[in-house]
């Protein structure tokens, strides 16, 4: 059984806390090189994973140039994704990129084209697709349990506000110029989940976005979005805060819903229950591998974050995601989530920001001539200033 020799770029919260231990424990992966611009993060992960000093790099390009790597995992923050991904693809490596693929659509599509040119796999860390409750929902939909999907409503209104690694730039999620957005950009997970459940990409959006906080360009902390995905109509409500969570899917012959303890939000709150109904009879939807635990609740935001990073969904689903990439590389098929899906998700986020700022619906794919496509959310800030 050959292993994919793998390098990791970015050893912060996600790189050091999820990717490194997950890669190191996967039977088909050999984690043999790491890169990070922040020396303590590089050293910590190097020591934890037993990476020799000569295989630890400050420069991601040096890691990409190693001739003995097959796969590079890029877990830098979004505005620092493009260069390491292009370097890895240019050196003939397969790539797993963290989400969001980029903070600017043009950068995201540039990576997609680079992967096509290099004929390498560009897979997305769209890890929620491997959460057991979404896999169960998708299987029930594909089995025709609720007929044709017509509507999806997703509430993720109690997302904790997660700073990055203290040793790097912990405030980056609240910096519009760097993060490229706030809650919607950072938590774009339900966009690709809805697209997967609907079986179609987003074709039009209309959104209202709230921005509060300090500074001249505060980021969004509340996003209420309406989306059209082919024939499916969806609503997505996302917020840093304490609002309700849960996801419902409406079909031509029934409905399906997923709930979390305290009416909370995955993956920060434990799975509670899932059901399908034909309107008359309600049946539990079996979700394999997840223990519904209605009596246990997390008391604090720190506990919720710890659960999200250490709990079942994040760790186990990560191993499944990596297995999917290994199989994609072995067989030549596409992974469950590709660079195209990553770029579409970034397009959708920017379309929502544009819709809210310009107070109009926005069609997708984004118009390549739109400044939002080339510059991301800073183009909207410039438009607002010019008004």
Ligand X SMILES: NC(=O)c1ccc[n+]([C@@H]2O[C@H](COP(=O)([O-])OP(=O)(O)OC[C@H]3O[C@@H](n4cnc5c(N)ncnc54)[C@H](O)[C@@H]3O)[C@@H](O)[C@H]2O)c1
Rule CB under 6 A: which of 93-112 touch ligand X? Answer: 98-99
Rule CB under 6 A: which of 114-153 touch ligand X? Answer: 125, 127
Backbone angles phi, psi at 327, to 5 degrees: -65, -35
CB-wise, 306 or 384, nearer to ligand X?
306
Q: Rounded to whole angstroms, what are the CA distances from 284 to 8, 256, 273, 308?
A: 40, 10, 8, 24
Query: CA quadruple 101, 105, 107, 108: dihedral positive or negative?
Result: positive
CB-wise, 168 or 257, nearer to ligand X?
168
Tokens coding 202:
């987003």
Per DSSP, the three-state class of 287 is coil
Question: Among 46, 77, 239, 339, which residue sits at the site for ligand X (rule: CB under 6 A)?
Answer: 77
Rule CB under 6 A: which of 264-283 touch ligand X? Answer: none
Closest CA to 36 of 20, 4, 13, 59: 59
Give how many residues touch ligand X by CB under 6 A. 27
DSSP result, 163-207? ---TTS-TTGGG-HHHHSSSHHHHT-HHHHHHHHHHTS---EEEE
- State in angstroms the smallest separation of the CB of 307 from ligand X: 13
CB-wise, 102 or 227, nearer to ligand X?
102
* Size of the chain, expressed as the number of residues it contains: 387
Backbone angles phi, psi at 13, to 5 degrees: -55, -50
**180 contributes a contact to ligand X by CB under 6 A:** no
Task: Classify residue 315 as left (phi > 0), alpha (psi -120 to 50) or beta.
Answer: alpha
| Measured distance CA(333)–CA(83) in Å, rounded | 26
- CA angle centred on 282, ends 276 and 283, rounded to 5°: 65
- State in angstroms the smallest separation of the CB of 236 from ligand X: 17
CB-wise, 17 or 250, nearer to ligand X?
17
**71 contributes a contact to ligand X by CB under 6 A:** no
Q: Rounded to whole angstroms, what are the CA distances from 124 to 39, 237, 366?
A: 26, 23, 20
**164 contributes a contact to ligand X by CB under 6 A:** yes
| Measured distance CA(263)–CA(276) in Å, rounded | 18
How would you label 297-318 residue by residue, b for 16+ Cβ within 10 Å and e otherwise?
A: ebeeeeebbebbbebbbbebbb
- State in angstroms the smallest separation of the CB of 338 from ligand X: 16
**78 contributes a contact to ligand X by CB under 6 A:** yes
Q: Would you give the binding string for ligand X spanning residues 348-377, x where CB under 6 A is met?
A: ------------------------------
Question: Among 130, 168, 196, 268, which residue sits at the site for ligand X (rule: CB under 6 A)?
Answer: 168
**177 contributes a contact to ligand X by CB under 6 A:** no
> What pairs with residue 245 in β-bridges?
156
**80 contributes a contact to ligand X by CB under 6 A:** yes
Q: Would you give the binding string for ligand X spanning residues 1-40, x where CB under 6 A is met?
A: --------xxxxxxx-------------------xxxx--
**324 contributes a contact to ligand X by CB under 6 A:** no
232, 152 contact by CB (below 8 A): yes
Question: Among 70, 186, 269, 324, which residue sits at the site for ligand X (rule: CB under 6 A)?
Answer: 186
Q: Which stretch binds ligand X (CB under 6 A): 164-172, 203-211, 223-231, 353-361?
A: 164-172
Q: Which stretch binds ligand X (CB under 6 A): 24-32, 71-79, 85-93, 321-329?
A: 71-79
Residues 6+ apart with CB under 8 A from 249: 137, 141, 146, 149, 151, 152, 197, 255, 256, 257
- State in angstroms the smallest separation of the CB of 126 from ligand X: 8
Question: Among 20, 29, 60, 356, which residue sits at the site for ligand X (rule: CB under 6 A)?
Answer: 60
Give the 3-state secondary structure of 223-238: EEEEEEECCEEEEEEE
**337 contributes a contact to ligand X by CB under 6 A:** no
Return the residue nearest ligand X (CB atom): 12
CB-wise, 4 or 345, nearer to ligand X?
345
Binding residues (CB under 6 A) for ligand X: these are 9-15, 35-38, 41, 60, 75-78, 80, 84, 98-99, 125, 127, 164-165, 168, 186
């Amino acid at each position: 059984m050959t292993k994919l020799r793998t390098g990791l770029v970015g050893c912060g919260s996600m790189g050091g806390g999820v990717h490194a231990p997950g890669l190191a424990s996967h039977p088909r992966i050999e984690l043999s090189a790491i890169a990070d611009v922040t020396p303590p993060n590089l050293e910590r992960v190097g020591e934890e994973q037993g990476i020799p000093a000569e295989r630890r790099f400050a420069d991601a390009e040096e890691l990409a140039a190693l001739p003995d790597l097959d796969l590079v995992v890029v877990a830098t923050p979004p505005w620092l994704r493009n260069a390491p991904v292009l370097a890895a693809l240019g050196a003939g490596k397969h790539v797993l990129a963290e989400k969001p693929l980029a903070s600017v659509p043009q950068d995201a599509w540039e990576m997609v084209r680079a992967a096509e040119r290099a004929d390498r796999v560009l897979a997305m860390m769209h890890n929620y697709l491997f959460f057991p409750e979404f896999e169960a929902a998708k299987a029930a939909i594909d089995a025709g349990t609720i007929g044709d999907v017509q509507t999806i409503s997703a509430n993720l209104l109690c997302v904790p506000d997660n700073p990055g690694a203290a040793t790097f730039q912990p405030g980056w999620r609240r910096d519009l110029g760097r993060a490229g957005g706030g809650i919607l950009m950072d938590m774009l997970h339900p966009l690709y989940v809805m697209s997967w459940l609907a079986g179609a990409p987003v074709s039009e959006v209309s959104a209202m976005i709230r921005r509060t906080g300090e500074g001249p360009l505060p980021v969004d902390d509340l996003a209420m979005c309406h989306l059209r995905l082919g024939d499916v109509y969806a609503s997505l409500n996302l917020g840093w805060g304490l609002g309700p969570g849960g996801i419902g899917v409406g079909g031509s012959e029934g409905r399906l819903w997923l709930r979390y303890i305290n009416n909370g939000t995955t993956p920060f709150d434990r799975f509670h229950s899932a059901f399908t109904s034909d309107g008359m009879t309600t049946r539990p939807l079996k979700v394999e591998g997840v223990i519904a635990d209605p009596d246990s609740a997390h008391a604090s935001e720190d506990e919720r974050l710890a659960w999200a990073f250490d709990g079942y969904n994040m760790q186990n689903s990560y191993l499944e995601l990596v297995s999917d990439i290994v199989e994609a590389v072995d067989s030549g098929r596409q992974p469950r989530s590709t660079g195209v899906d990553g770029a579409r998700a970034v397009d959708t986020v920017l379309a929502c920001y544009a819709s809210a700022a310009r107070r109009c619906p926005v069609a997708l794919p984004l118009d390549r001539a739109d400044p939002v496509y080339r510059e991301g959310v800073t183009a909207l800030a410039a438009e607002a200033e010019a008004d």
